[in-house]
A and B are shown apart, each in its own frame.
Chain A
């Protein structure tokens, strides 16, 4: 990784966006990376736009906030509006088609999947964030599966660990992982 990678997980407050960002940051830490994770939320305990951003680097991070996203995850209609200039032209978007009605369009690679629906089929719609995390990591070569599994185990309350592990695997299987991601998976 020569340049820092920037990600945003966005949706509605209560969807576990801060949680999945924490899991991802923890996994990246285990892989020896340096991360900066920032957040934005509204003063309500549920609802409102909520997002968590990550800057991932192999070295020091001078400015810890995102300025050019490589990945944007949108898990709810309230987050469907975003500043297009914040995305690199090469960015990849993951959109939860079961919760986002707005048709997101632009020069980016856009993948729509029913993350929440898949999670509901596994027993709890609220694991949609982890399904999306699985897809995100299958598409990128950001971190090893072993680190993600360890981070999930460390951060998840025990009674939800099986659900989160299944949700992650379901998300991972949604796409054909990139060769680099596959290699990272195999290393695990």
Chain B
């Protein structure tokens, strides 16, 4: 990560430091394992930079508080885990609809319900995409190391601010509690994106006007621009509407805006994937196990490769397509009953060539287990 300080840092703390570096100045949250270290660190760091930390009365209020603070002009974040993420979904939908920039961290533990608080899982992959009701735009980033917990948090803020959208940072308990030796860059070297504020004549301002880039300018409180924010379907003036043509236009823009800005959203990592006949697709700690398994398979002469979506949603479809087409088999190891594999089957062109490893025990999937299935696929195909 360039010049800076070489330290041992925990994943959750890296997320907090990344948030501060990105310009986050408001955090509201409610403690929940395994995400509480994010709140602890924010409580220590925010006062140093003139920011505000609030421990709210519950998860729902925490989500409400960051939405309000963002409307007030601050860069904002909250962190939680599955049970809390469930509670946040209604307000998260509101943030998607009203287009409020915010970052929500979900550190995945065993579920459903209160599940296993201290054990890792990857069971919120679909919830992160579809947890709140109705069609809605949302971006989900999936770091797999402490270093990435830092850098992807910064990217989460930059995407949220640039595209006026909630961004979910999704990682498993292992990544959250993992301590790794990392190079933390100087805060001054971090590129920060700022949101587009309303300018020009106040009378002509329309809070949801479809601008050139489909991202409406926000009204900064105190600047004198009139603004109405509602979860009801609204037209360009921000007022509720059920006029079919107006609704269609508003929703097409809302749902299409992320697709138009794939260049700032898409991110993925490949390893030995160019000529891979067996392509492994994984996120989080599972992706790191997969990388070692792929390296070992290559040493054995098996043409294995890795595709790791760093941006999980919207899925980086285009770069994946070509690799998926050339692969004879695709393997999706994940700590759930099969979620990422659903998307991979959809994108693979031939669902039958997608094999799965699913883990529900609360233990991470080990490299040896992935290697074993790669070897089987190499021997018997799919």
Contacts and interface: CB of A to CB of B under 8 A. Distances in A.
Interface of A: 22, 25-26, 29, 33-43, 61-65, 67
Nearest to A61: B180
B242 interface: no
12 contacts: A22-B179, A25-B181, A26-B8, A35-B179, A36-B178, A36-B179, A36-B181, A37-B8, A40-B118, A43-B117, A43-B118, A63-B291
Given A25-B8, A26-B8, A29-B8, A35 B180 contact: yes
Task: Choose among B7, B178, B295 the residue with the greatest number of A CB atoms under 10 Å from its CB.
Answer: B178
Contacts of A65: 174, 285, 289, 364, 366
A26 B145 CA distance: 19
B interface, how many residues as a size bin?
20 to 34
Nearest to B181: A34
Contact of B178 (A26, A42, A64, A67): A64
A39 B179 CA distance: 9
Given A29-B6, A29-B181, A33-B181, 12 more contacts: A25-B8, A25-B181, A35-B180, A37-B8, A37-B178, A38-B177, A43-B117, A43-B118, A63-B289, A63-B367, A64-B180, A67-B367
A64 B118 contact: no
Closest 4 CB pairs of A and B: A37-B179, A63-B292, A34-B181, A43-B117
A38 B292 contact: no
Interface of B: 6-8, 33, 117-118, 145, 174, 177-181, 285, 288-289, 291-292, 295, 364, 366-368
A13 to B, nearest CB: 10
Contacts of A63: 288-289, 291-292, 367
Nearest to A66: B366
Nearest to A50: B118
B364 A29 contact: no
B12 to A, nearest CB: 12
Nearest to B363: A40
B6 A64 contact: no
A124 B35 CA distance: 32
Nearest to B366: A67
A40 B174 CA distance: 9
A38 B117 CA distance: 16
Contacts of B289: 63, 65
B368 A67 contact: yes
A33 B288 CA distance: 20
A65 B145 CA distance: 12
B291 A62 contact: yes
Contacts of A26: 8
A127 to B, nearest CB: 22
A62 to B, nearest CB: 5
A5 B90 CA distance: 47
A48 to B, nearest CB: 9
Contacts of A39: 177
Contact of A64 (B8, B288, B368): B288
Given A64-B180, A65-B174, A65-B285, A41 B118 contact: yes
Contacts of B364: 65
A35 B180 CA distance: 6
Contacts of A61: 180
Contacts of A42: 118
Nearest to A43: B117
Given A25-B8, A29-B8, A41-B118, A62 B178 contact: no
A62 B6 contact: no
Contacts of B291: 62-63
Contacts of A41: 118
B146 to A, nearest CB: 8
Contacts of A34: 180-181
Task: Choose among B8, B118, B177 the residue with the greatest number of A CB atoms under 10 Å from its CB.
Answer: B8
Contacts of A22: 8, 179
Contacts of B367: 63, 67
Nearest to A39: B177
A18 to B, nearest CB: 10
B40 to A, nearest CB: 14
Contact of A62 (B7, B295, B368): B295
A33 B366 CA distance: 24
A43 B33 contact: yes
A8 to B, nearest CB: 15
A38 B118 contact: no
Given A39-B177, A62-B292, A29 B118 contact: no
Task: Choose among A35, A37, A62, A63 the residue with the greatest number of B CB atoms under 10 Å from its CB.
Answer: A63
A36 B285 contact: no
Contacts of A25: 8, 179, 181
A35 B8 contact: yes
Contacts of A64: 145, 178, 180, 285, 288
A39 B34 CA distance: 12
